A = this chain, B = another copy of it.
Amino acid sequence: MGKHSEITKRFLLAAKYQEIQALHHLSSNCRTVEAIKDMIHQLQRERGMSNVFLGSKGDRFTAQRDHQIESSQECEQDLRSLLKSLYLGNHDNGQSMRLLSSITFALQGMDHLPNLREKVSALQVNTLESTNAYCRLIAGLLDVIFEAADVASDPEMTRLLVALFNFMQGKEYAGQERAWGAIGFAESQFDSELCDRITALTESQQQCFETFSNFADAEEQAMWAELANSDIANNIQRLREMICALAKGGDCSPELSEVWYDIATNRIDAMQLIEEHLTARLNKQAELRIKQAEDELRNHELLVASLNNTPAHSGSPFTMLFDASVRGLRGADIREEELSESATLSAHKSFYELIRGQSQRIEEMAGQLTAAKQALNEQKVIDRAKLLLMQQGKISEQQAYRKLQTSAMEQNIRIAELAQRVVQRVEK
């Protein structure tokens, strides 16, 4: 009576052991995420300088670009070494196929960076082609961060990764906005299309930074609020309005191109501090969670050992079968033997409470995880819905987004909910 079988004890320990393994994998992924954050930042700088170089037909930024390429290459070497040591050491690394596959895709692009750089140096690609190539590589690297967030199973860590992914995605949209603006100023082309693009990218940034704020800590939120209310942000806003005004006609002094580029660059560089705060917290949290879980495993082992030396409880056994807090027959709300009936401490009781506690904690965690992963996927769903509307109605991205926005307002639901419905309706 009240005896727990050997196999139950072993499963309790196996579950904790696997939690620790999963946290180690997650910790590896956090180190990857940090290295990718650095790589993306270098590529964003290189993309910007390449554009100035191409725009000036090779006159300007030659030395700066060479210097930047060296920095990018150094960063790439670090990233490659890290990826190799983290994921290619063991035959079975226990990692998700999706994460490894996203790394493969990004690596494929990095393999051909030298080729892109040669083309830029020889002025064999135009600004748009070069920008596009860098954007693809950065999108591939961002996908790795997305997968790292999506495969994480610790809610607190997932929340951090969702915040970081959205922040980095927002920063990349800021980089794309800088590129479009620079192209516009360089070619003095200010049409309504450019205004539409800038507006679309501005709105996407807002969405990303909103999701980031929902999952960031107070300090990061404060850092972001400071940046969002800074002179830099105000100046960017003024320049955006100017671009849209120029689309309707008017003159533009050529110096504005440099002003736009510098302010947009200052803004992007300032974002780096927040990224660093997030990754520092991420790695600290990973260490902490591993330590916690290891302590818990030791406690579990001690309890199991003491259980083997403790005679079984003579009264009612501590079991889920008679635990009124466990959902049983639906509609029955009878109170049976309370588990707390015996005030004496018993290893058997602790053992049951441990198992019960673990299963309750998992239920709570599952709810938090679902919420974080839903937020992670929302942007993807909105993007997919936009693409579907663009294909169906032969409309622009901006028009598709307006359509989603209007319908969501009419139906009084969030834009992400509406996008979900659009996708479901089409894919059925």
Residues of A near any B CB (own CB < 8 A): 1-5, 7-8, 10-12, 14-19, 21-22, 80, 83-84, 87-88, 91-98, 100-105, 107-113, 115-116, 128-129, 131-133, 135-137, 139-140, 143, 150, 153, 173, 176, 179-180, 193, 196-197, 200-201, 204, 317, 319-323, 326-332, 334, 336, 352, 355-356, 358-359, 362, 366-367, 370-371, 377, 384, 397, 413, 417, 423-424, 427
Q: State the Cβ distance, A171 to closest chain B Cβ, in Å.
A: 14
Q: List 13 A-B contacts (CB under 8 A).
A: A2-B115, A5-B80, A11-B88, A14-B88, A15-B97, A15-B100, A18-B100, A92-B94, A101-B362, A112-B319, A133-B321, A133-B328, A137-B321
Nearest chain B residue, comparing its CB with the CB of A104: B11
Nearest chain B residue, comparing its CB with the CB of A398: B331
Q: State the Cβ distance, A246 to closest chain B Cβ, in Å.
A: 17
- Apart from A18-B97, A115-B317, A204-B330, list 10 A-B contacts with CB within 8 A: A18-B94, A97-B362, A108-B320, A108-B352, A109-B321, A133-B322, A136-B320, A180-B329, A193-B331, A197-B331
Please tell me if the beta carbons of A16 and B332 are within 8 angstroms of each other in the complex.
no
Please provide the 10 A-B residue pairs with the shortest distance between their CB atoms, ordered closest to farther.
A15-B100, A197-B331, A112-B319, A135-B328, A19-B97, A132-B328, A133-B321, A136-B328, A11-B104, A8-B107
Nearest chain B residue, comparing its CB with the CB of A316: B115
Q: How many copies of this chain?
A: 2
Chain B residues near A180 (CB-CB < 8 A): 329, 331
Give CA–CA (A87, B371) in the complex, Å. Answer: 30
Q: State the Cβ distance, A49 to closest chain B Cβ, in Å.
A: 16
Chain B residues near A22 (CB-CB < 8 A): 96-97
Instruction: Given the known inter-chain contacts A115-B319, A320-B108, A424-B371, please indicate yes or no for A173 contacting B362, CB distance below 8 A.
Output: no
Chain B residues near A358 (CB-CB < 8 A): 101, 104-105
Give CA–CA (A15, B92) in the complex, Å. Answer: 10
Q: State the Cβ distance, A381 to closest chain B Cβ, in Å.
A: 9
Chain B residues near A150 (CB-CB < 8 A): 366
